[in-house]
Amino acid sequence: MTARTDFATDFSHVFVPATDPAAPPLLLLHGTGGDERDLLELGRAVSPGSALLSPRGRVSEHGAPRFFRRHAEGVLDEDDLRARTHELADWVEARTAAHGLAAPLALGFSNGANIAAAMLLLRPATLAGGVLMRAMAPFGAAPSPRTSPGSPPAPAPDPAPARSALILAGLADPIAPAPTVTRLVDMLTGAGLTVDRRETLAGHGLVREDLDAARAWIAAARG
């Protein structure tokens, strides 16, 4: 296991080399207040032998690391999200190339799942797909009213082969309720992804059924 901060614009991160060359590499994206070590055990559990690339979000919300800013609970700063998505995608592409890895599967929770969803929409060639745990739609149907006059439009998505995503939603989740999960499904399918939505009797926290579903989905994707 290596922890590195060797680029001037690097993310603090942990890289764990693969022990099974056939296992897909995973990009681990933590939730608010997490760090680069939060999802390591989860990654090992759902895809044994995978290479793990786990960055820490570079935004601080009252000391809690995040991958992008928000205006309030459930109100995302879409301009910042777009910029941070491209920043993270550039970094992921550089790191995977440096380690000789294929495009990874994202395994993201909450804030990390939201930026993974944004990456699947804006930079789909960066990822092989994603497991989005307790995610919400990252963008509104219309431009954000907080976008300042004269702001440049969001870059067009890169072309990419077919991708798929697993969305793990909690039926009692107050942060990512059903309507925003449905919007996320619609956005991803509209972008050409194959989406599998699973729901559990849970809130925003993860339960055993989520881990079992993620493990089975990744195994099926591996073939």
CATH number where 13 lies: 3.40.50.1820
pLDDT band at 10 (very low <50, low <70, confident <90, very high): confident
The predicted pLDDT at position 223 comes to 66
Sequence-distant (6+) residues with CB within 8 A of 22 are 49, 222
Residues above pLDDT 90, as percent of the chain:
81
Mean pLDDT computed over every residue of the chain: 88
What's the mean pLDDT in 98-125? 97
Range(s) of the domain holding residue 40 = 2-145+152-222
Residue 99 annotated among the catalytic residues of the structure: no
The model carries a pTM of 0.88
- Quick one: which H or E segment has residue 26? strand 26-29
Residue 110 annotated among the catalytic residues of the structure: yes
CA distance 38 to 14: 10
Candidates 110, 148, 158, 186; catalytic one: 110
What's the mean pLDDT in 79-85? 95
Candidates 99, 173, 210, 212; catalytic one: 173
Give the chain's domain count. 1
Say if residue 170's pLDDT is above 70: yes
Candidates 79, 204, 210, 212; catalytic one: 204
Q: Out of 54-63, 71-80, 192-201, which region has the weakest mean confidence (pLDDT)?
A: 71-80
Residue 62 annotated among the catalytic residues of the structure: no
CA distances to 47, 51, 132, 165, 217 from 168, rounded to whole Å, are 16, 22, 6, 10, 11
- The residue assigned the tokens 């300042």 is 148
